[in-house]
Structure 1
């Protein structure tokens, strides 16, 4: 089914709201926003006969055989609003009932002003006041989310055991996770914290990027698709994960301390999670995001959604491995030179193929993708993807320069452990053939993770990790 045209969708919603309100409503503008493969998202501006303008958002599932999760999302949004959580207001909804004006599931919600781009929130002067209040607001909002009466949201999936949940959610990626994440998962298994007082509704993706931030702070909590029942500290740990600090030097979304978050949460919730539990869930979030990176890359590799961005995300699992090793105390942040900035050993094949060398050709492509002549003519979305493509070219350049020496060094390390390759290393760790606490084993894993990160993103070595 083709995605319905924005103007027609908005006109039907306008007619529906006009009937509910008893006043004529017209459509001033409507457009389809970028969204996932299964959902369509529209932005529209409606105008009442009084002249009042009303921007709205319409989320729809035109091609689904069911409601695409929108009915559960509507239940959660209404329950969250009742609990005092800032969320968009549902203006209208249609699911399977007769009289559905669109003929497929939809939610129409009010548009809320605010910034969602993390780097702007973290750096722009306009958000300085919001940054000062952010951690305190997050603690209170999460406490209110966690006390939502789950009787209002029947049918939510339950995450009874978080590690079993990772295996069930990402079976292929869990079985093939890289060695750094294997060490982290084994540590999580052996060091489980005391469970929280009760299971509750968990947002599942509470982080920068899913929060609208205005001048006064958090204006709305968005993207409830991953909501489930589980341990409330999961949300706190996800918010603190290094991946969602976007280069910030403080643990909570780059803007505050763990103690401040736990104190704010305790004031609203009436109990205070331990820092040990919070750090356990932070490491859990790192492992989970590392697996999700592999899932995203698989969408590209399997042909589900061919995308240079998804392909690039696959190599970001090296960042999550390094973060896991930081949490385990096996590495520390440091400045590491980029291989592209130093002298390089000539490729022995260059004599066969002539000049320019492979590395020099890749360099030319990267320079072209980043050139003003290219960037100036592109839409913001295409400009972003050309920057991603330039980064991918740099990854390939580094791998071309380093592959031979890194492969030889890794083979020598693994051979000393009686292991043939990376897959065998992970299998030996899982089976217990190799002890993940053994210093020689850990040193081999650390060296391989460092080699992967040096190729993928050498700047990441120096990112703070408080």
Structure 2
């Protein structure tokens, strides 16, 4: 698996440091200092994440705080056509206010692009451990080498329970009824988005497997679906576990949050794990519950039925396949655009169901 990343790096890291230093100082009403910025490389492929500490003097003492900045990407070939950081920020804020689901403590959103050239938001850094994307946790990393079978089971099951609790939230009460489009179901809205995404991501070249999946999804839409505010990118790699691994410290990355059937999060959670195991010809980590056990646990914890699970497996495969194809195109891996491991796995799942 190629580790090339489409995520933009900061060209003027020191200039960015000084601008952030000034912005935080202005917003806090006191001078703060930032010694250096760092960019994590183990997770994420669509935003710029900056890690840094701020220090300031208060009451004759030096104080400090660890922060994270998420920046809207500004590159020639981004992973997504647009990024609404304000929606991400709003979702995190609402989850924190309307539930006991842990999210990072937010510290400010800047939608004016004049400072850094892009939108950004800040949040306090949450201590803990995140399962790695690069390399995938089924292949290497701390989950493989530093956890017991019992700990892996606990991490997985705790994640599923947290996802189920999230699905019980009322999106209308949280203020996200505004995401509904009159005359279209949430699923129809999403299918329109992904049809447009295919054309944009492939820059007009088309995508045989992705289009085949979209055609099947259009023709087999479930009826009378439940609607919640879906996480959108529900997976282990978007969870910070407590350093002790006894629970979840924070749930991350709401950039793909959307109204839809909660089963789509469940299917994505399982499918992403399968992609980086079965899709790469690797075994899953020993001790992880089966996908069937995961479905049963989620149904019991959420109160929703997973009857549309097979449909949303294909939906998950279509989404991830197209995203990976965009990443391959953006990183110059032209031979893999329609032949990546993600596309091959989607084709395998399509052949099973059609």
TM-score normalised per structure 2 = 0.70
Measure, in 2, the Cα distance between the counterparts of 1:26 and 1:220. 26
Paired residues for 1:437-456 under 5 Å: none
1:110-160, CA deviations, whole angstroms, 9 ceiling, x for partnerless residues? 222322314235422336554222333223322333315344346547633
Measure, in 2, the Cα distance between the counterparts of 1:209 and 1:63. 23
Which structure dedicates a bigger proportion of its chain to helix?
1
Cross-structure match for 1:106: 120
Is 2:303 aligned against 1:280?
Answer: no
Contact 1:72–1:153 (CA<8 Å) still a contact in 2?
A: no
Q: Of 35, 39, 46, which residue of structure 2 is paired with 1:28?
A: 35
Is 2:244 aligned against 1:227?
Answer: no
Cross-structure match for 1:142: 163
| RMSD across aligned positions (CA) | 4.2
Cross-structure match for 2:187: 160
Q: CA offset at residue 216 of structure 1?
A: 2.3
Aligned length: 313
Q: CA offset at residue 46 of structure 1?
A: 1.8
Measure, in 1, the Cα distance between the counterparts of 2:180 and 2:74. 23
SS in 1 for 2:51: strand
Measure, in 1, the Cα distance between the counterparts of 2:115 and 2:192. 42
1:379-398, CA deviations, whole angstroms, 9 ceiling, x for partnerless residues? xxxxxxxxxxxxxxxxxxxx
Residues 253, 88 of structure 1: alpha-carbon distance in 2 compared, 3 angstrom cutoff: farther
1:13-32, CA deviations, whole angstroms, 9 ceiling, x for partnerless residues? 45555566676543232235
SS in 2 for 1:226: coil
Q: Of 212, 218, 225, which residue of structure 2 is paired with 1:196?
A: 225
Q: Of 198, 206, 230, which residue of structure 2 is paired with 1:170?
A: 198
Paired residues for 1:14-413 under 5 Å: 14=21, 17=24, 25-32=32-39, 40-49=48-57, 50-61=61-72, 68-82=83-97, 83-96=99-112, 105-112=119-126, 113-117=128-132, 118-119=136-137, 120=141, 122-126=143-147, 128=149, 130-146=151-167, 147-150=169-172, 151-153=174-176, 155-156=178-179, 159-161=186-188, 163-171=191-199, 176-178=206-208, 182=212, 188=217, 192-197=221-226, 199-214=227-242, 215-241=245-271, 244=274, 246-247=276-277, 255-269=288-302, 271-274=303-306, 276-297=307-328, 300=329, 305-308=330-333, 312=336, 314-316=338-340, 317-325=343-351, 327-328=352-353
Measure, in 2, the Cα distance between the counterparts of 1:11 and 1:128. 46
Contact 1:70–1:106 (CA<8 Å) still a contact in 2?
A: yes
Contact 1:71–1:95 (CA<8 Å) still a contact in 2?
A: yes
Measure, in 2, the Cα distance between the counterparts of 1:256 and 1:313. 32
SS in 1 for 2:123: strand
Q: CA offset at residue 267 of structure 1?
A: 4.9
Residues 244, 209 of structure 1: alpha-carbon distance in 2 compared, 3 angstrom cutoff: farther
SS in 2 for 1:31: coil
Contact 1:245–1:251 (CA<8 Å) still a contact in 2?
A: no
Residues 29, 311 of structure 1: alpha-carbon distance in 2 compared, 3 angstrom cutoff: farther
Q: CA offset at residue 234 of structure 1?
A: 0.6
Measure, in 2, the Cα distance between the counterparts of 1:194 and 1:177. 27
Contact 2:86–2:111 (CA<8 Å) still a contact in 1?
A: yes
Q: CA offset at residue 11 of structure 1?
A: 4.5
Bigger mean CA offset, 220-229 vs 42-51:
42-51
User: Whose radius of gyration is greater, 1 or 2?
Assistant: 1
Larger relative contact order, structure 1 or 2 (CA cutoff 8 Å, min sep 6): 2
Measure, in 2, the Cα distance between the counterparts of 1:109 and 1:127. 31
Contact 2:152–2:287 (CA<8 Å) still a contact in 1?
A: no
SS in 2 for 1:44: strand
Residues 143, 210 of structure 1: alpha-carbon distance in 2 compared, 3 angstrom cutoff: same
TM-score normalised per structure 1 = 0.55
Contact 1:81–1:87 (CA<8 Å) still a contact in 2?
A: yes
Measure, in 2, the Cα distance between the counterparts of 1:133 and 1:37. 27
